A and B are shown apart, each in its own frame.
Chain A
Amino acid sequence: MNESTNHYHHTAKLQSSGHAMTAMSRQQELIVEGAGCASCVGKIESALKQVPGVENAEMNFADRTVTVSGSAGCNALIKAVEQVGYNARAMEEGSEDSALEQREKAEWAYYKRLIREMAIALLLGVPLMIYSIVVGEMTVTTNTERIAWLLVGFLTLGVMVFSGKHFYVGAWQSFKNHSANMDTLIALGTGTAWIYSMVVVFFPGVVPEMARHVYFEATAMIIGLIDLGLALELKARGRTSEAIKRLIGLQAKTARVVRDNKELDIAIAQVLLNDIVRVRPGEKFPVDGEVVEGHTAVDESMLTGEPMPVEKAVGDEVVTGTLNKSGSILFKATRVGKDTALAQIINMVKRAQNSKPPIGRLATPMSVMVGVGKAAEAGVLIRNGEALQTASKITAMILDKTGTITLGSPKVTDIVLAGAGSEDGVLQLAASLESGSEHPLAMAIVELAQERGLQPDKVTNFNAIAGHGVEGEAGGQNLLFGNEKLMHERNIEIGSLVDKAQQLAAEAKTPMYFAVNAHLAAIIAVADPIKEDSIEAIKRLQGNGIRVVMLTGDNRATAQAVADQAGISEYFAEVLPEDKANKVAELQMEDEIVGMTGDGINDAPALAMANVGFAIGTGTDVAIESADITLMRGSLHGLADAIAVSKATLRNIKQNLFGAFIYNVAGVPFAAGVLYPFFGLLLSPVIAGAAMAFLSLTVVTNANRLRLFKAQEH
């Protein structure tokens, strides 16, 4: 704390900007120490430019860094800066990781110092306190007592200097600034006690005999206890950043890039956009990108909370920090550095952790930090304290149907065979026919065949019959796929399965007929199915007394069917995208606090209109900017989790506010002597000091208790 203002201490990094430049020319960053004025900039820049090989030097005064490009060596640059009277050093790898480490180191050192100071203060304070309790009043009457107390007085002064210096310095600084703070109170209280006691020791005559007490124990105890409180707070605060630490820990340190047909390991800071990166099984993805070769399964649970590995093939997106499970793949870097989804998530969680909910300015930051971190662990990104607070009060939740309640892409739900033959056999033939089609329903069939490992045959004479279906030949058979009308036109007997088809239609599925050699082979039904856990998640919301309403652009029949399956009694059907926000407003008119959940793209106006907008991220494309709360995995359980976390956090904040309130409301009158006329009780300042340490302890402990919060298992 005593370093002079003009000297900056940092670690630093040598950043080489990689292969974009020639081998010799590169960019280096230096940290300059001792540059205290803007005029130094020109001096340093021109000194650097005179170094042979330097093409350009630009100093950022704010950062006290210089960026030098050219082929000059680092040592020559440092020397040049030193010659004009400043200190310079190369910048080290300044990743989030090391910044955090540094911070922890600094906090740990501060913590140790506080503990040491506390111990010294209490070493004197506690025996004095015990003495005062055992012996009673610490009076000064005899000369021996005077000498003894004088000695104690100097010891106390030692404690004040060693353990309490920061209070006095802070109080003085604050006083000079025409303001008062906690340090002022402590300095004033302990200082007055000490000065008064010393007056009693030196000039007992100036105070009335009944007031000749010394209060050295109060001075030592108060300093010790408040140091203890500060230390406890620091310690507990360190633990609240665990969520951030965990996220930062996901970041790989190096990446294996392919440049000039060679694979080389480089620091992730040096990965450039469009670099081709190799990731082997068991390694983490170092940056965001798109798979260009190979296929694999990726564990994205660290970001999304989704435990099942996700299949990735050419064209799929991969995200920083996720774990490659099975295959070795190559991908193209599409987002690096601060732009990766992980970096943005870290940034957002950090910001949210330090924002305040409107509820209170006191005793809340700890709870918010823990709450937001806890939510992040469950795959729920909360944008700020306000969203956290409002989420706890939601009374109605609007859910978009497609992509929110349902998967958002059609899947084959039923294959009903008309006669003999196997399901796989029929599917293989249907997939052969449909492999030429781009229709979403066709793609669902082809996808299912792939999942089952069925190889489609080559199709000949393929013909798309607009609005009806497709036909073609494969494996020597005539294939026809389409709707009821097409079957009638071709005189294919479907009588046996018409009832079944109608039943499927009533379940919000799309039944299609498949005929082989002019005989009906099967009905294949395709639908956008409800996500496996949507029903349960919706039940959880309803169980919390939240009115759940579904919103969809689909027709009434489909909406009804999906709502029935999902256990939702209220829905808005045939809503145009631009009307979604109006529906949110309608519910708000009914005095509901409305949460809106959508995929964050065409739902943006509705998300903004809602009291709390929830965006469903797919884990990769995080719609961070459009929503108050982002669910990183697709599951709607995130909604109930978010609400549960926010309720727990708000409850915690209220407990803390209550604690602080009671402490002040009860403590201040006590201290003012309210009880003195009745019971002769006065509140010793030592008790106040202890209460303060205790309050810090309860607040931080209570906030840390939130860490035990667990998102419901599902």
Chain B
Amino acid sequence: MFLVNLSGIALIALIIWWFWLYKPKDVALDDAAVVIVVENGTYQPAHIKLAANKAAVLHFLRKDASPCSEMLLLPDLDISESLPLNKPWSISLPPLERGEYGFHCQMQMYKGVLKVE
């Protein structure tokens, strides 16, 4: 019984670490080759690092036909773009101040974040 409880607690700790505490690796956007692939319920990569006060371009490729994935919203920047299916699509960003800017699909089932540093 003790063992069962212990492994349960360990599992909970693992879940908390994996989903909340873990700091994901950010992908820097310096390289123009970064294409954010929208597929299977995720943005890949979902954590994008950007330089502050510099205009940038995000490249998306949507491979997922589910309705939510069609729209890409960047609420802080008032950006709302529809991503064509299986076709690269670029979104230009104005120079941004430091901070985190979330992006997501229409119903927030897909989430990502821009880290401006």
Contact = CB atoms under 8 A, between A and B. Distances in A.
B85 A62 contact: no
Contacts of B46: 177, 179
A178 B24 contact: yes
Contacts of A175: 18
A103 B69 CA distance: 13
Interface in A364-380: 365
B19 A63 contact: no
Contact of A1 (B42, B63, B75, B84): B63
Given A5-B61, A174-B41, A110 B88 contact: no
A166 B88 contact: no
B86 A10 contact: yes
A9 B88 CA distance: 9
Interface in A390-442: none
A173 B73 CA distance: 21
Interface string B52-83: 00000101010111110001010100001010
A41 to B, nearest CB: 9
A10 B87 contact: yes
Interface in A98-124: 99, 102-103, 106-107, 109-110
B63 A354 contact: no
B80 A355 contact: yes
Interface in B1-48: 18-19, 22, 24, 31-33, 35, 37, 39-42, 44, 46
B88 A63 contact: yes
Nearest to B57: A62
Nearest to B35: A5
Contacts of B65: 1, 106-107, 109-110
A3 B41 contact: no
B37 A173 contact: no
Contacts of A64: 88
A191 to B, nearest CB: 15
Interface residues of B, number: 40
A170 B87 contact: no
Interface in A60-82: 61-64
Contact of B40 (A1, A36, A37, A61): A1
B32 A3 contact: no
Interface string A228-251: 001001100100000000000000
Contact of A361 (B64, B80, B108): B108
Contact of B67 (A178, A234, A362): A234
A183 interface: yes
Contacts of B49: none
A181 B85 contact: no
B76 to A, nearest CB: 13
Given A182-B109, A354-B80, A365-B106, A61 B86 contact: no
Interface in A160-179: 166, 169-171, 173-175, 177-179
A486 to B, nearest CB: 59
A233 B106 CA distance: 13
Nearest to B84: A99
Contacts of B87: 8-10
Interface in A1-18: 1, 3, 5, 8-10
A647 interface: no
Nearest to A178: B22
A169 B40 contact: yes
Given A5-B35, A177-B46, A180-B19, A354 B86 contact: no
A99 B111 CA distance: 26
Top 7 closest A-B pairs, CB basis?
Answer: A170-B41, A110-B65, A62-B90, A173-B40, A170-B40, A38-B32, A106-B85
Interface of A: 1, 3, 5, 8-10, 36-38, 61-64, 99, 102-103, 106-107, 109-110, 166, 169-171, 173-175, 177-183, 230, 233-234, 237, 350-351, 354-356, 361-362, 365
Interface of B: 18-19, 22, 24, 31-33, 35, 37, 39-42, 44, 46, 57, 59, 61, 63-67, 71, 73, 75, 80, 82, 84-88, 90, 106-111
Given A178-B22, A351-B80, 5 more contacts: A9-B86, A102-B85, A169-B40, A230-B66, A361-B108
